[in-house]
Amino acid sequence: MDTIDRWRLAIAGFSCAILLAAVAVLSGSDRVAKPMLINGDSLGQETSESFDTYVNRAAQSIDMARADGDYVGYGLVTFTQPQSAQSVGTVVENITRVNAIQVAGSPVVGIPEPVKSTRGDYIAHQLKIHDLPINEITGVVVYDRVSVLAMLIDAPEVAAVEVLPPDAAWNRFSVRPVHY
C-alpha cells in the first residue's frame, strides 16, 4: 500500500466515524417521541354553521369570558364585509396586539408587533410582503383584555368578536375562515 492509498483509507475511516457519531447524536433526539400538544381551542366559523349562528356563538363567548373575569386573552374580530387595511387599522388602533390577519380565501397570516407606524399602514405593509390584497381583510386575531375586546363589537365594521378561554396560548389554537 502506498502513501496515497493510506491517506484514502484514513479519510474513509474518519468519514465513517463522523457519520456514525452524527447518527448516534441524532438518534437521541426526542422531538418526535413526545406527544404533540393538542390544539383544542379554535376561533372562527364551524363548517356547518351559518354566519348568524356564528355571530351568536361569538357573542356567547364574550359573555362566558366576562364571567371568568377581565383576563387578557385572544379573540377573533370578524368584519361585516371585507375591509381595507386602513379601516381595520382604525378599528384595532388601541388594541394591545394584533397577532394575525385573515384575508378572504387565504390562510391566516401571523404578523410581528410592535409597530412603529399606524396599524393601518403596518397591516398594509405586511399584506404586501405576503402578496395579499389589502382590501379583503375579513378578520384579525387580537390580544387584549376581555373588556377591551368586547368594546370592539360597537364598531360599525365589526360583525362579531369571539374570545378564547384564558388558558389559550398563541400557536396552540386554530383559526377557521368565516363565510358571510
* Cβ atoms within 10 Å of 78's Cβ, excluding its own: 25
Ramachandran region of residue 105, left (φ > 0), alpha (ψ -120 to 50) or beta?
left
Alpha helices in the chain (DSSP H): 3-27, 51-67, 85-91, 119-129, 146-151
Closest to 84 in 3D by CA, of 140, 39, 154: 140
pTM, full prediction: 0.78
Closest to 99 in 3D by CA, of 132, 142, 136: 142
The CA distance from 174 to 108, in Å, is 10
102-146 per-position pLDDT tens digit: 999 899 999 998 778 899 999 999 999 999 999 999 999 999 999
CA 108 to chain CA mean position, Å? 6
- The phi and psi torsions of 37 (rounded to 5 degrees) equal -65, 140
Contact 142, 98 (CB under 8 A): yes
Grid coordinates given for 164: 378564547
56-86 per-position pLDDT tens digit: 999 999 999 999 889 999 999 999 999 999 9
The CA distance from 85 to 54, in Å, is 24
**Average pLDDT, whole number, for the chain?**
90
Q: pLDDT band for position 25 (50/70/90)?
A: confident
Instruction: Taking residues 47-63, report their average pLDDT.
Output: 95
CA dihedral 132, 135, 139, 140 (to 10 degrees): 70
Contact 159, 52 (CB under 8 A): no
SS3 category, 128 = helix
